[in-house]
Structure 1
Amino acid sequence: MQIVDYELYAVPPRWLFLRIETSDGLIGWGEPVVEGRTHTVRAAVEELMQTYLLGKDPMRIEDHWQTMYRGGFYRGGPVLMSAIAGIDQALWDIKGKHYDAPVYELLGGRARDRIRVYQWIGGDRPSGVADKAREKVEAGFSALKMNATAELERVDNPAAVTEARDRLAAVREAVGPEVDIGVDFHGRVTKPMAKRLATALEEYDPFFLEEPVLPEHNDALPQIAEHTSTPIATGERMYSRWDFKEVFEQGVVDVIQPDLSHAGGITEVHKIAAMAEAYDVAMAPHCPLGPIALAACLQVDAVAPNALIQEQSLDIHYNETSDVLDYLADPSVFEYHEGYVDIPDRPGLGIEPDLEAIEERAGHGEWHNPVWRHADGSVAEW
């Protein structure tokens, strides 16, 4: 069996799908994308496919991963690792279909039957969160996530901290103590403001504080952790086990959030999860993406004993034109019950993308995150 062809589809709202075909007719799907950098990642996937993977045996996944990563002098980073991730997902999909087994069976078998999911509320500049929280809890979700703030100054005024605290207080009052509320700093908060916010929000028992500072400032995480007992989460902008090594050794991160479309795919995140388990760190894969990325996440969640909860993008604020279920032949595979989703048990990734719907919408997946500015005209972190 050989890899004989591939196709890439940029689809709304901001996703890139990869279809790999083999000589015996098996099809594998992956989701290689950096949101807002579709053209760049497409070129990286094409380069890997054209210069290396076409004509190769798709079953040798580990060897292909090592070659794609180590075969170039320059390694890592979001573009290359996202390209590798999507290809890796598609190869696992093919391998599972070849053996007529879900990917989790090839990774050692399930450690769970289902995984808890959380629902986003509030948008980039969070508002109306209490009402949205009530609505999502009534729909059956027991865990929510919201942005902590809009843009902040490097050292902002007390009102900015009070607004963030009051916003979380309103959600906590709306849903009560039995619902978990993740609070995402989104890397838009500097170290001094992260310390103040961590202290101010603790009273309302956040589930975790996500990406309190940008990963290039992970050395500040121990200082931030001193200001709160709330679990610290990070990892969506970390792309390999080597990136995660430092935070494991620091001993202050409680939840890692690797993205299976950015951090090298199933092969790499399975290894990152095992490393995390050795440090008593939970995993909650980042996934504000499409159905293929979510299916890949669930296959790793199935076999990772330390998987805590799964992000998913149904009804997320980015999905203005298309949503996760729009590209599936059978959307019931992602039905949520009591805040959980079952692990898909069909061969490969466990889903069947709707090729007709994908081809219909292909070419309309352009998206770029907004550029925010402070009052003085300087660029703010989004």
Structure 2
Amino acid sequence: MATIDRAEVLITSPGRNFVTLRITTSDGVVGLGDATLNGRELAVAAYLRDHLVPLLIGRDPARIEDMWQYLFRGAYWRRGPVTMTAIAAVDVALWDIKGRVAGLPLYQLLGGRSREEVLVYAHASGSSVEEMLDDVAAAREAGYRAIRVQCAVPGSAGTYGVKKNGRYEPADHALPDEQPWDTEAYLQFAPGYLAAAREALGDGFPLLHDVHHRLAPLEAARFGRSVEPLHLFWMEDPTPVDSQDSFRLIRQHTTTPIAVGETLSSIYDVKQLITEQLIDYVRTTVVHAGGITHLRRIFDLADLYGVRSGSHGASDLSPVTQSAAVHLDTAIPNFGIQEHMGYPDLVAEVFHGGATYAGGALHPSEEPGLGVTYDDAAAARFEYSPKYLPVARRLDGSVHDW
């Protein structure tokens, strides 16, 4: 019987920071797991090195479920993004190994195909409405069939989601960039630019928007009602998710679909939102919600209540997570849509293979396991660089939800 012989925590920064767990079995099979937590990468790396890796050596890599329970239920301190990201890295690496041993792509081990492709949405944004519409047009020309739209609020340098130099990367400062935020200006401006995007795209085109926790519940309800004529595919994170009862108020006032979950890390964090049907799409992701094993449980629960998946997939998640997500998206019955931002060219020098984009959709690799390999020589060229996510402040100087 093969056992886990080695587990390495690898850190590289080809355009942005990534943490990868590489597990090698006694018979030489290698599996990869993503352990990237944007702005807190080294916390997960230390958790893995100091607390989880010593527990893995000598264990049977085929016992994925038992390993998950051992690391989660067997521990006194549970949940939270650092813990769940570390567990996810182990879980995905073991699934990768299982696929490689079986000689099958991962989606085959998850029950086979439920669909032929994974619909994705692009990010389009601009510092002005005209620039935003140009970016929308570029996304359509690239074949995208669903687009998330953000535009800078005039006079607000802290507008969320707007690209700089062609890419959106919020963690780009050695210390947090403190950005001003004006909620009322956003509420006055956003419906208008979304209307312009809807006019450009036409009625049947999926149009998405991320509010990014910036509104109080009643403000979110007001916003959702104001954009109902635009038939958004969803409004994402309309209010902070800490008080999930507040989503009842939003539901009472608007029929605009709601997507929530990228900052949530367990089935217990989304249980109320799902079982009370307070959301339409759950955005938990492989790397931050305990891996394939646990995310599948979340999606199975969601399926019982008519809630679909819409997993987070920004470029702060490595190609390992993107591949794992697409394999899972391919298999589950209640898939909704998958976020897709792509990566800087440098990333492909470190991570080879994985999911491929074509015509508005991602397609899983047909190679065994995840179909991703890690290039140590290339990774060594890109040293870790500390980066923080920004902090939002109201115009009076007080801290606001990011």
In structure 2, how many angstroms separate the alpha carbons of the residues matched to 1:252 and 1:353?
A: 40
In structure 2, how many angstroms separate the alpha carbons of the residues matched to 1:28 and 1:342?
A: 20
Indicate whether 1:144 and 2:164 are aligned.
no
Indicate whether 1:350 and 2:378 are aligned.
no
1:278 to 291, 304, 327: 304
Percent of paired sites with the same residue:
34
Residue 135 of structure 1 and its aligned partner are, at CA, apart by 0.7
Tell me which amino acid in the other structure corresponds to 2:3.
Q
Contact 1:290/1:323 (<8 A) preserved: no
2:322 corresponds to: 294
CA spacing shift, 1:77–1:126, aligned 2, 3 Å: farther
Indicate whether 1:161 and 2:187 are aligned.
yes
1:132 to 121, 132, 135: 135
Contact 2:19/2:35 (<8 A) preserved: yes
Tell me which protein shows more helix as a share of its residues: 1
Contact 2:180/2:393 (<8 A) preserved: no
Q: 1:308-323 alignment to 2 at 5 Å?
A: 308-314=336-342
Residue 161 of structure 1 and its aligned partner are, at CA, apart by 1.5
2:335 corresponds to: 307
**CA deviation vs aligned residue, 1:4-59 (integer Å, no higher than 9, x gap):** 22222223313212211111111111111211001111111113433311121111
Residue 368 of structure 1 and its aligned partner are, at CA, apart by 1.0
In structure 1, how many angstroms separate the alpha carbons of the residues matched to 2:128 and 2:51?
A: 38
Tell me which amino acid in the other structure corresponds to 1:328.
F
Q: 1:210-249 alignment to 2 at 5 Å?
A: 210-249=236-275
Contact 1:36/1:368 (<8 A) preserved: yes
Indicate whether 1:375 and 2:401 are aligned.
no
Indicate whether 1:200 and 2:254 are aligned.
no
Tell me which amino acid in the other structure corresponds to 2:351.
L
Tell me which amino acid in the other structure corresponds to 1:373.
R
In structure 1, how many angstroms separate the alpha carbons of the residues matched to 2:40 and 2:213?
A: 19
Tell me which amino acid in the other structure corresponds to 2:322.
L
**CA deviation vs aligned residue, 1:54-111 (integer Å, no higher than 9, x gap):** 1211111100000100121121011100110111111110111011111222222221
Residue 327 of structure 1 and its aligned partner are, at CA, apart by 3.1
Residue 154 of structure 1 and its aligned partner are, at CA, apart by 9.7
The more displaced of 351-360 and 280-289 is 351-360
2:166 corresponds to: none
In structure 2, how many angstroms separate the alpha carbons of the residues matched to 1:345 and 1:93?
A: 13
Contact 1:202/1:228 (<8 A) preserved: yes
Instruction: Provide TM-score, normalisation by structure 1.
Output: 0.91
Tell me which amino acid in the other structure corresponds to 2:221.
K
Residue aligned with 2:119, SS: strand
1:103 corresponds to: 106
2:9 corresponds to: 8
The more displaced of 105-114 and 352-361 is 352-361
Q: Which runs of 5+ in 2 are unaligned?
A: 154-158, 161-178
1:46 to 12, 28, 49: 49
Indicate whether 1:26 and 2:29 are aligned.
yes
Q: Which runs of 5+ in 1 are unaligned?
A: none
Residue aligned with 1:329, SS: strand
Indicate whether 1:181 and 2:201 are aligned.
no
Tell me which amino acid in the other structure corresponds to 1:345.
E
Provide the aligned length of Structure 1 versus Structure 2.
373
